[in-house]
Each structure stands twice: as structure tokens, then as C-alpha cells.
Structure 1
């Protein structure tokens, strides 16, 4: 089970019961902006500081290098992210 380190402080486990990273973050009471939950709007955009994620569906929203959308991705390895 990959771990998800948030803003270089706390960490949560992604145990695979959540549909995506956004759901896992919400289950652990982490505040994340979101709107569409499907990769269209980009409101949930986060910085990927280390590790790898895989998109379940390719996002339509613009995503810069070093960023990802938790609403449509899962971690492949332990990751460290920055949530705005």
C-alpha cells in the first residue's frame, strides 16, 4: 500500500478501497479544492513532489509538469504531494 505524504508533514495510506486519491484524501479529512471530480476542471490540481501516479482516465484539464489531478489518479509508489 503506497503512502501519501501531505505538504511534507502528515502521511496517509492509500489502501485501494478508494476510487482515487481525492477520495482517499477526503476520507482522511484533508481539505482539497475540487469541482467536477472527473479531470475536466483542474480545481483539485496538486504538486507531485516525489513518486509516481497513474491516471485512471486522462484529464482534460491543463496540468503542468510536476502537477497532477487527484480526482482521476492513484499512486503507483509512495508519493509526496503539496495540496494548495
Structure 2
């Protein structure tokens, strides 16, 4: 059983050299490089857009509440 574990471990080390599991490991390929840059931009901008949308929504609700609380001139 111990020999099988050692064989599997060595096999995993040999095969791992050919695996590009990291997004940056294959940066030599132009498509990979652009995909990495675009995904980084998207993953950075989406949370900022969500926070901005939430702030705008709260601002909009505040404006509605201010209009409702103002007395009308009628």
C-alpha cells in the first residue's frame, strides 16, 4: 500500500509539469494574457458598480422621502 502511494505521488509530480492550472502560468499565449487582464478588470469593476448602484439607490430613496415630507403650496 505504501508503494502505491509513493508511485502515485511521483506520477503526480511528473504530470504536474505539463499542467497549467494557474491563470498566469500560460501568459505566453496572447489569448490567455488578454483573458487574464479582462477577467481581472471585470472582477474589479463589478463590486465597485454594485456599491455605486447601492449608493445611488439610497440617494434616490432619500430624495423621494424629502419630496414627500415637503409641504405643498396648495
- TM-score class, shorter-chain normalisation, is under 0.3
Structure with the higher fraction of residues in strand conformation: 1
Greater length-normalized contact order (CA 8 Å, ≥ 6 residues apart): 1
Structure with the higher fraction of residues in helix conformation: 2
Larger radius of gyration: 2
TM-score of the aligned structures, taking structure 1 as reference length: 0.18
